[in-house]
Amino acid sequence: MKATVANDTILKVENLEMLFPLTKGLLSRQYASVRAVDNISFEVTKGKTFGLVGESGCGKTTTGKCILRILEPTAGRVLYNGVDITKMPRKELKQYRRELQMIFQDPYGSLDPRQSASSMLKEALTIGQTKKSTGEINDRIEELLVLVGLNTEMKVRYPHELSGGQRQRLGIARALACDPKLIVCDEPVSALDVSIQAQIINLFERLQEELELTYVFVAHDLAVVRHIAERIGVMYLGHLVEVLDSSDLFQNSMHPYTKALLSAVPTIDYYAEKSRNRILLEGEVPSPINAPSGCPFHPRCKYATEQCKKQRPELTDRGGEHMVACHNV
Amino acid sequence: MSEHLGKDITMEEWVKLESKRRRKDAAKQFFRIFFGRGWLSKCCLVVLVVFILAAVFCPLLTVYSPYEQSLIDALQGPSREHLLGTDNLGRDLLTRTMYGARISLCTGLLSSLIAMVIGVTLGLIAGYFGKFVSGVIMRVVDAQLSIPPLILTMCLAAIFGGSILSISIIIGISSVPMYVRMVYGQVLSLRENDYVAAADLIGQNKLKIMFKHLLPNCFATIIVLFTGNVGISIMIEAGLAYLGIGITAPTPAWGTMVSEGYNYFMFKPALALVPGIALMLLIISLNIVGDGLRDALDPRLRGKL
Amino acid sequence: MGERLLEVKNLRTSFFTVAGEVKAVNGISYYLDKQEIIAIVGESGCGKSVSQKSMVQLIQMPPGKILGGEVLFEGKNLLDYAPTSKEIQSVRGAGISFIFQEPMTALNPVYTVGNQLVEVIRNHKKCSKAEAWKIGVQALRDVAIPDPEKRMRNYPFELSGGMRQRILIAICVACNSKVIIADEPTTALDVTIQAQVMELLQQIVERKKTSLVIVTHNLGLVTRYAQRIYVMYAGRIIESGTTEELITKPRHPYTKGLLNSVPKLDQTGSEKLIPIDGTPPSLVNLPDQCAFLPRCPYACDKCRNSMFPELRSVEGENHFVACHRDIVEDRT
């Protein structure tokens, strides 16, 4: 369990909140709001991976987009290398824009179908940069393609001529073209086949080592997140319910939701599977429009008490930087 | 690399050769689908080409002028000098029909182009920019749509007179809402795509995103609209001419010819029928060729090889 | 386990396209006993979905065509009958029923749940609307949907993904299907809902004595729930056996590769994943040799010079492998 040294922290999220207004009527009167992200705080160490895990509707993708200001958060702060970029005007943000990149989930929708690979990478390389000669640009394009494991001949290809795994690699090349320092990876392997997933995960790890990248890895697949992240944040209905080191995840998780999530994920260890205790959750994930009062998990929690219904638990450190938001642990 | 193996070539040369090969393949694919739709579309293409040639080369194809009257020769039947006969003022019917093709095609194409340029730009802006801008544009479009198009064009024609240019502009304006709404809807869905967010992340400005990423992906919709629109514009122009608005006699617009020829329907139906049938043939072949164009371009634009 | 319910012998299905013949299913054989759960595992494009649909002739013909083989269900060969015949119609739903991946699109959005249940029930059983309604409510109760009478009046869009998947299972239950084929039943669902749905399916197998075929690429899922596994690659079955045998002692390099590609949840270190090189092959113009040859780390000259290996028995209970080589790996 390492302590986070302040100057090693590349990203600090403080009390981040994202409310989507629900409007009704001709004049778009707001009658309620969806608390997609509700008071999230965490830190990311430089050169490491922070995994954000949870089921659909928990707000992990929205958090990723708020960090990069693709969506404008309604409250809270995002500090990049100590600089508050939350409300920074677009002009000022430009200098940091290229250092913060994203890799998207859908390998089909994340590439412009009318742009060839080289045209796409050229665009990424040349915007707002000092003018380079065509030769330099071409060289860099080929470097990038090789870096992500693609054949240089693929630079003439269009997205529809590439497979899912190849498209994802191209998306990574585009992000790398901007010389990023922090990359938010939004479910980058969920849409891929098992054997291709493994290739792309290895690619992510190799790039992190070679280029000293920091990742915020958003996914719903616990096994993938445990594999690639050093620190994991578990989200439920817009709240962070547990933050812990990934090595603690399987044996030492404390929050009832984390435990249920772990139990629900089948592994390929045959004998372990047969002897596992299975925790089955009742009910469905509630809609974020009608979030329960107090602790968001209490309707489905075996250990819920009166306090859980009324008071929302805070994330507190239970020792060794293991943070849990629960009254009963 | 496989097709060019055996030679020592640099990457740049390979890229050039490969791009040329791809363009050739794409063109082959295009023509295969375009011409592969059966005998009807081939026929219509021929008809369309005939009309276009007639419209372009009519001064060379005929010795007569569409305006020169010769009352002695009035209302003659088809003969060696006048292949389709003459009209009530002795003008050669075939010549006037060919010049009419020129007018119809010009106004059709010009008005569609005007509508496309204005409509697509407004649609793009309305779709991509925020609530206020899109609100204003869409409400103006709605307002225009609430006025019956024929009445709108009639009023505008009455105000601005009837040259080919002004009629084209007027018909173009009346077709703008169609483009705005289609492109607006298309852009609304396109801008949710991840590649638009990615373009924003790499630092691209809004204008460039609009024209480099959103517009090209709307081409399919726009082309579909355009091919249909040319036919409709020609119909509107003929209708206006028939009503005597805009292009008036003695200009040989088909609509005018139909309206004049109607008076002589009992003696010489050809006067009204010939321009009427020409109009019908032109619009039908435009639509069918447009269908073929759509099919040939569509799967390619969607990316299926 | 009991009587043999379903036996497939040498099923072959191809699609004839502009690009050539796509041999989606290239001679597969398997069996299913009563109250058994088997899994057909493979990645996308290996032909597993097509093989299941071919059994009840649910594929589009043309461009598809079932070229040969036998599908013996309750003593009759289903491929002897035309797709529109009475025999096939009666098997679909009552004999063999399907649960598909996307519960959103599997239900008709303009009819209520009750409407759709009643329609299916009355298709297979002669009864009045009221009786069918009662059977439907009971089926919803069997799949643990709270407030079943109310749910019958809901439209599909009013319900969540997990709920919709349960309704599809309820349809199978209501028809008293003997075989339920679940094609990627949980891929579109959240992890905790996945667990609920799979537990439910397991209970249905026990209580209603149905058999279940799980078609998936999720190896963890099959480890937990399936009793026997068939691994498909490029339209063929390349390994089969009991779950314990296959998962702990895989013999085929592809199966091994798949198991090595999956990140393991229960480890504390970060060991490197060992992915399989290359990409799955296109099913057009497959070579005569082993389809896995270009990606196989154990490929040898024998593999390169021989035809596609046939399934042969190896030591261990009921364990068959289609491989020229003999590589043993113990993962216990």
Nearest-angstrom CA–CA distance, C263 and C273: 7
Tokens 């090209």 belong to residue: B216
β-strand pairing of A182-186 with A214-219? parallel
Q: Cα angle vertex A20, ends A16, A22, to 5°? A: 155
Q: How many CB pairs under 8 A join A and C?
A: 130
Residue C280 CA, distance from chain mean position: 19
CB contact under 8 A, A128 and B203: yes
Identify all chain C residues contacting A273, using CB atoms and an 8 Å cutoff.
Answer: 220, 223-224
| Most C CBs within 10 Å, among A268, A282, A284, to test the C interface | A268
Instruction: With beta carbons less than 8 A apart as the criterion, state whether A23 and A222 touch.
Output: no
Q: Taking the domain C1-88+227-265+272-332, which CATH number applies?
A: 3.40.50.300
CB contact under 8 Å between B18 and A161, yes or no, is no
Which conformational region is residue C208 in: left (phi greater than 0), alpha (psi within -120 to 50 degrees), or beta?
A: alpha
How is residue B234 written in tokens?
A: 């020609």
Residues of chain B in contact with residue A102, where contact means CB-CB under 8 angstroms, are: 197-198, 201
Contact C132, C118 (CB under 8 A): yes
pLDDT at A4: 44
Comparing alpha-carbon positions, the chain C residue that sits nearest to A224 is: C263
Q: Are A232 and A243 in contact (CB under 8 A)?
A: yes
The shortest CB-CB distance from B195 to any of A111, A142, A158 is to: A111
Give the chain B residue whose CA is nearest to the CA of A119. Answer: B212
| Rounded average pLDDT over B146-161 | 85
Nearest-CB residue to B197 (from A70, A160, A161): A70
If phi over 0 gives left and psi between -120 and 50 gives alpha, with beta otherwise, what is residue A25?
A: left
Q: Quote the CA–CA distance of B257 and B68 in Å, as a whole number.
A: 15
Distance from CA of C122 to the nearest CA of A (A): 31
Confidence band, pLDDT 50/70/90 cuts, at residue A148:
very high
Chosen from C37, C233, C266, C279 to mutate, greatest number of chain A CBs within 10 A: C266
Which residue does chain A place closest to B217, by CA atoms? A114
Per residue in C238-284, pLDDT (tens digit) is 999 999 989 998 999 999 999 988 888 877 666 788 888 888 888 88
Per-residue burial over A136-150, b = 16 or more CB atoms within 10 Å of its CB, e = otherwise:
ebbebbbebbebbbb
Look at B217 and A105 and tell me if their CB atoms are within 8 Å. no
Name the fold adopted by B98-305. Answer: MetI-like fold (1.10.3720)
Interchain contact, A101 vs B15, CB within 8 Å: no
Nearest to C261 among A195, A260, A261 (CB): A195
Q: Are B277 and B196 contacting, i.e. CB atoms less than 8 angstroms apart? A: no
Please state, for a pLDDT cut of 90, what percent of chain A lies above it: 41
**Given a cut of 90, is residue B176 above it in pLDDT?**
yes
- Computed on alpha carbons and rounded to an integer, the radius of gyration of chain C in Å comes to 21
Mean of all residue pLDDT scores within chain A: 87
Residues of B in contact with A110 (CB under 8 A): 193-195, 198
Compute the distance between CA of residue C244 and CA of residue C330 in angstroms, rounded to an integer: 11
Per-residue 3-state assignment (H helix, E strand, C coil) for A38-102 = EEEEEEEECCCEEEEECCCCCCHHHHHHHHCCCCCCCEEEEEECCEECCCCCHHHHHHHHCCEEE
How much is the pLDDT for A1?
A: 37
Closest residue of A to B219, CA-based? A114
Same fold, C1-88+227-265+272-332 and C93-216: yes
Q: Indicate the residue of A197, A262, A272 with minimum beta-carbon distance to C261.
A: A197
Domain limits of chain B?
Answer: 98-305
Q: Which of A114, A129, A154, A162 to probe the B interface (max B CBs under 10 A)?
A: A114
Q: What is the DSSP secondary structure assignment for residue B210, as one 8-state letter?
A: I
Condensed to tens digits (0 to 9), the pLDDT of residues B195-204 reads 999 998 888 8
Contacts of B18 in chain A (CB under 8 A): 153, 156
Between chains, do A267 and C264 touch, taking CB under 8 Å as contact? Answer: yes
Domain ranges (residues) in chain C: 1-88+227-265+272-332, 93-216
Distance from the Cα of residue B97 to its chain's centroid: 19
Q: Which two tokens stand for residue A73?
A: 């958060």
B244: tokens are 């005597």
pLDDT digits (tens, 9 = 90+) for A221-246: 888 999 999 999 999 999 999 999 98
- Average pLDDT of span C7-34: 89
Chain C residues close to A108, C-beta within 8 Å: none
Residue from the list B1, B18, B200 with its beta carbon closest to the beta carbon of A70:
B200
Averaged pLDDT of chain C: 87
Instruction: Check residue B212 and report its DSSP letter.
Output: I
Q: Does the bond joining B250 to the residue before it have cis omega, within 30 degrees of 0?
A: yes
More confident position, A270 or B161 = A270
Write out the CATH class of domain C93-216: alpha beta
Number of inter-chain CB pairs under 8 A, A vs B: 75
B198, A104: Cβ pair inside 8 Å? yes
Which of A177-186, A281-290, B13-22 shows the highest mean pLDDT? A177-186
Decide: A155 and A142 in contact? Cβ < 8 Å: yes
In angstroms, the Cα distances linking A229 to A2, A10, A210, A236, A322 are 15, 15, 17, 19, 15
Flag whether pLDDT at C330 surpasses 90.
Answer: no
Question: What confidence tens digit (pLDDT) does each residue in B245-288 have?
Answer: 877 778 888 888 888 888 888 888 888 888 999 999 999 988 88
